[in-house]
Amino acid sequence: MNPILRRIASASAITAALLTSACVTNPDPYPAAAVSGDVGRWVPIEPGRARVALAAPASPDAPASPDALAAREFRTSQGELVQTLTLPNNTAVPGDNELVAAFDYGPASIFQADVHAAKVGRYAMEPASLNRLIGEMLPRAVLQGEPQIRKNGYGLYGYVSADYPGQAKCVLAWQVLDGADLRQVGGGAPRRAGIQMRVCDARAQPAELIAAFDSLRLDL
């Protein structure tokens, strides 16, 4: 074989080996989505298939966690899975009662990484991000005091109480988890996760509403 052709063949073989190796060591976390074409659009799912839930309270005296009425998920080419669970709502105030969880697994291989692709989930909660979240999930609500800190089975989380005077009491909770926090969940844990819960109720008090986030459960 011509020496030049020999070098080209050798380089091609090395490239193929690297691509094969990348696929083996970085498995696609969404093989079904890749086949079905569900990447980049919201898809309805059964609430029981969601990777996040509000578990039953540990004590009979604790308020019951609301069961999800519906669920949907959104997958991105950069390895994110976002799931939204719709929770019961007995109010007419703006916004929806929901539990939102974003899981960042990263792209399927290093060759698919896009450093310029904006992340969909909220994986940090600095003041500017929190203000945007409050504006989106509690539009025109009256905040009741400063954000508070509380703890569930995955660590510390923040929450704020709010009021729609004469209509409903509300809570907005958020939690940011990294790999160290998530490794306790299982071997298939994502690199990081961002979770938010918004619940408003015409009869319950904030202390009762926030108790649901204490029972947060991840199934990864």
Given a cut of 60, whether residue 205 has pLDDT beyond it is yes
| Helix%, strand%, coil% for the chain, nearest 5 | 25, 30, 40
Bridge-based pairing of strands 70-75 and 216-218 is unpaired
- Bin 79: left if φ > 0, else alpha if -120 < ψ < 50, else beta: left
- Residue 154: the pLDDT is 93
**pLDDT tens string 85-104:** 999 999 999 999 999 999 99
**What counts of helices (H) and strands (E) characterise the chain?**
5, 11
**pLDDT tens string 174-196:** 999 998 888 877 667 899 999 99
Q: Where are the alpha helices (DSSP H) in the chain?
A: 3-25, 31-36, 127-137, 179-182, 206-214
- Residue 56: the pLDDT is 67
At 112, is the pLDDT very low, low, confident or very high (cuts 50, 70, 90)? low
Question: The whole model's pTM is what?
Answer: 0.78
Report the distance separating Cα 155 and Cα 176, nearest Å.
Answer: 9
- Residue 42: the pLDDT is 95
